Amino acid sequence: MAKYIVKRLLLMIPTLLGVAVLIFFLMRVVPGDIVELRFAGESAFAQKENLDKERARLGLDRPLWEQFVTWMLGIMRLDFGTSMWTGSPIIEEIQLRAALSFQLAVMATIIAVVLAIPLGVVAALKQDTWVDYCVRIFSIAGLATPSFWLGIVFILMLLIVFKWLPPMVYTPFWVNPWQNMLQLIWPALAVGYRYSAVATRMTRSAMLEVLREDYIRTARAKGLWQKLILSRHALKNAMLPVLAVVALEFAFLMGGLVVTEQVFNLNGLGMLFVESVARRDYTLTQALVMLVAFVFIFVNFTVDLMYAWLDPRIRFR
């Protein structure tokens, strides 16, 4: 097991390095750089020497391999540098936005799990009855509805029915929990619906699979209570794949809510992504991509370990 963990951890390095190479060169292939963009408004100052001076200040005049190596050496010391656009440390820039994205992801996860587990279990127990059909239609609809559109519909509803709009400015939870909830509950619901659909489907199919196992039949034959069979025998074993999709979905939410954030005017990581690419803020974009890639790889790794730990039938080499 320890050998497997070390092997997996080592395999993360080439993947992260590949992501780093990809984003580094991708950003530089994109036409226009930050200096051109910044001086675009003020054509009088945009003389070549001024542009060159600014490029030299940002280190963009050095050969590409040197820039890459400098960046990599920084990352190894966990130093992501400063944002090219604002000049403040990248860690600070990301921290602010990550708090919001993280809270939203947690809220959406709670909504999803609270909806998904009972629905999935009921659908599996009543397979091919109208209950099952209703749950399946509800969850397939969840997969089909774009979260950002659902967000627009929520806002519309609040506006037309209640003549009220959620607050536009972000209030941290510890400052004013009520104000914070008023703003974030709507995007969390919009995202949570799709998320719950993914989890419901997984719960249902995992339950169906588990319910056919021999040990469930044995438990039934022993005359065990249906309730006890469900909670102790079936649900516990069906939870593993559900936990896995929830974890992967959570990793995606941390950086992937670009459109929903746009609709609700939220300053999360997704918004930061779009801004940083639009400004050709190489350092910030690179750091963000590395962060998202790391979260994704790490969650995948954790999920695999979880499988090994919770399911003794799985053994790793």
Q: Is 316 in the site for another protein (CB under 8 A)?
A: yes
Q: Kindly identify the residues of this chain, within the stretch 44-83, that bind another protein according to CB under 8 A.
A: none
**Which residue number, 103 or 285, has a Cβ lying nearer to another protein?**
285
Shortest Å distance, C-beta 172 to another protein: 25
Q: Please, where are the H alpha helices in the chain?
A: 2-29, 34-39, 48-58, 64-76, 90-125, 130-144, 147-161, 177-211, 214-221, 226-228, 236-256, 258-264, 269-278, 282-310
- For the bound state, the minimum distance from the C-beta of residue 259 to another protein, rounded and expressed in Å, comes to 5
Min dist. Cβ of residue 167 to another protein (A)? 17
Q: Choose, by CB under 8 A, the member of 2, 3, 14, 78 that binds another protein.
A: 14
Encoded tokens for 29: 């292939």
18 part of the interface to another protein, by CB under 8 A: yes
Report angle CA 92, 292, 38 to the nearest 5 degrees.
Answer: 55
Chosen residue from 40, 73, 159, 228 binding another protein by CB under 8 A: 159
Give phi and psi for 127, each to the nearest 5.
Answer: -55, 135
137 counts as binding another protein under rule CB under 8 A: yes
Among 50, 67, 205, 267, binds another protein (CB under 8 A): 205
> CA-to-CA distance for 101 and 237, rounded, in angstroms?
31
Contact string (CB under 8 A) for another protein, positions 106-125, x = contact: --------------------
The least distance separating another protein from the CB of residue 294, rounded to whole angstroms, comes to 8
Q: How far is the CB of 52 from another protein (least distance, A)?
A: 23
Instruction: Look at residues 179, 155, 149 and name the one whose alpha carbon lies nearest to residue 167.
Output: 179
Q: Rounded CA gap, 23 and 271, in Å?
A: 18
Min dist CB 173 to another protein, Å, is 26
314 binds another protein (CB under 8 A): yes
d(CA 299, CA 293): 10
Q: Does 214 bind another protein (CB under 8 A)?
A: no
Of the candidates 44, 144, 161, 168, which one interacts with another protein according to CB under 8 A?
Answer: 144
Binding mask 239-278 for another protein (x = CB under 8 A): --x--x----------xx-xx--xx------x--xx--x-
What backbone torsions phi and psi does residue 82 show, to the nearest 5 degrees? -115, 155
Residues 207 and 124: beta-carbon distance below 8 Å: yes
Which sign, positive or negative, has the C-alpha torsion 167, 138, 201, 123? Answer: positive
Q: How far apart (Å, rounded) are the C-alpha atoms in residues 270 and 262?
A: 8
CB of 226 to another protein, least distance (A): 19
| Tokens 């559900």 found at | 242
Q: Cα separation of 240 and 246, whole Å? A: 10
Q: Is the dihedral of CA 278, 106, 133, 235 positive or negative?
A: positive
Using CB under 8 A, list all residues that contact another protein. 11, 14-16, 18-19, 22-23, 26-27, 29-31, 127-128, 133, 136-137, 140-141, 143-146, 148-150, 152-153, 155-156, 159-160, 205, 208-209, 212, 241, 244, 255-256, 258-259, 262-263, 270, 273-274, 277, 285, 288-289, 292-293, 296-297, 300-301, 303-304, 307-308, 314, 316
